[in-house]
Amino acid sequence: MIEVHGVRQALKDLKKVQDSIEDGVVDDFKKHGKAMVKVLRAVAPKKTGKLKRSIKSVVYLDYGKPIKLRVWITRSAFYGYFLEYGTSKEAAQPFFFRTTGAYSPEIKTSLKAMINDRINQSNLETRKRRVEILSKMGL
């Protein structure tokens, strides 16, 4: 008979890593969402300030579904669409997608670094635990 010890503990450790990464993604998305809103508000065409105030961000976390960062212009400033794309009488004043698109590489780099840090941290903790177990066993 072959026995495998530590499988349950390994699964618990993996769940901790998963939870840590999910928390990190949410924190990263919140940070980048706030930064994007700040920049978008700074570059948005301004007449009354309503468009500027209508730019929002939110992080969606539904268990079992991908974590999402949404940055948008609320309905109260629906005319943001016309400013972004223009009309037959007005030239486009693009500001939204150009700005959010510029953040994409930065967000990816930040997420990659955070995930690597979380995995490396869990590996360090696992190695420490392994050393403790082996020393208790006299090995």
**Within a domain: 11:** no
**Within a domain: 3:** no
| Element holding 49 (H helix, E strand) | none
**Within a domain: 7:** no
Please check the confidence at residue 15 and state whether its pLDDT lies above 80. yes
Q: How many domains does the chain have?
A: 1
What pLDDT is recorded for position 5? 66
**Within a domain: 93:** yes
Please check the confidence at residue 96 and state whether its pLDDT lies above 80. yes
Q: Which domain holds residue 64?
A: 17-136
**Within a domain: 123:** yes
Confidence class of residue 14 from pLDDT cuts 50, 70 and 90?
confident
**Within a domain: 9:** no
21-37 in b/e form (b: 16+ CB < 10 A) is: beebbeebbeebbeebb
**Within a domain: 2:** no
**Within a domain: 47:** yes
Dihedral in degrees, nearest 10, Cα atoms 28, 67, 98, 92:
-140
Quote the longest CA-to-CA distance of the chain: 82
Question: Whole-structure pTM over 0.85, yes or no?
Answer: no
